[in-house]
Amino acid sequence: MSAAEFELTRLPVGKRAEVVRVGSVGSMRNRLLDLGLVPSTVVEAVRKSPAGDPVAYKIRGAVIALRSEESRQITVRSLD
């Protein structure tokens, strides 16, 4: 149950994790809530931009790219 928690930034491409906590504040938090990024949501890292950042995540069927500043605020726990 208590698998290690880590920042979403460190989720390797192709791996899935479950959201534990969203630390973002203000308008970015609203934006993430709009996308359905709430605790217990399953997130998969899909691909990295050729420049390494942003990273695209599969969130509830949609592919959404987040910058590392944003994904660092999101704590997840590994599912794989």
Partner 1 sequence: MAHLEAEFNRLLQLAQAEGSQMGTVRDRIVQTIYREAQDIAEKAVKLKGKAEDVDRMIDNVVTSKIWGYPLMLALLSVVFWLTISGANFPSALLAEFLFGLQDQLTALFQWAGAPDWLHGVLVLGMYRALAWVVSVMLPPMAIFFPLFTFLEDLGYLPRVAFNLDKLFKKAGAHGKQILTMCMGFGCNAAGVIACRIIESPRERLIAILTNNFVPCNGRFPTMIAMAAIFMGLLVSNYNSFTASALVAGVVVLGVSVTLAVSWILSKTLLKGIPSTFTLELPPYRIPKIGSLLIRSVFDRTLFVMMRAVVVAAPAGMVAWILANIQIGGLSILAHLAGWLQGFGCAIGLDGFIVLAFLLGLPANEIVVPILIMSYLAEGAMVELDSIEALRELLVNNGWTWLTALNMMLFSLLHFPCATTLLTIRKETQSLKWTVLAALIPTGIAIAVCFVVAQIVRGLGLF
Does position 11 bind partner 1 by CB under 8 A?
no
Q: For residue 52, count other CB atoms closer than 10 A to its CB.
A: 8
Specify the pairing of strand 5-7 against strand 55-59.
Answer: unpaired
Cβ–Cβ under 8 Å, residues 23 and 74: yes
Does position 14 bind partner 1 by CB under 8 A?
no
Q: For residue 72, count other CB atoms closer than 10 A to its CB.
A: 15
Answer for which of 8, 17, 70, 73 binds partner 1 (CB under 8 A) is 70
Task: Give the binding range for partner 1 (CB under 8 A) out of 5-13, 19-27, 72-80.
Answer: 19-27
Does position 28 bind partner 1 by CB under 8 A?
yes
Does position 47 bind partner 1 by CB under 8 A?
yes
Cβ–Cβ under 8 Å, residues 11 and 19: no
Residues that bind partner 1 (CB under 8 A): 22, 26-28, 31-33, 35-36, 38-41, 46-47, 49-54, 56, 60-67, 69-70
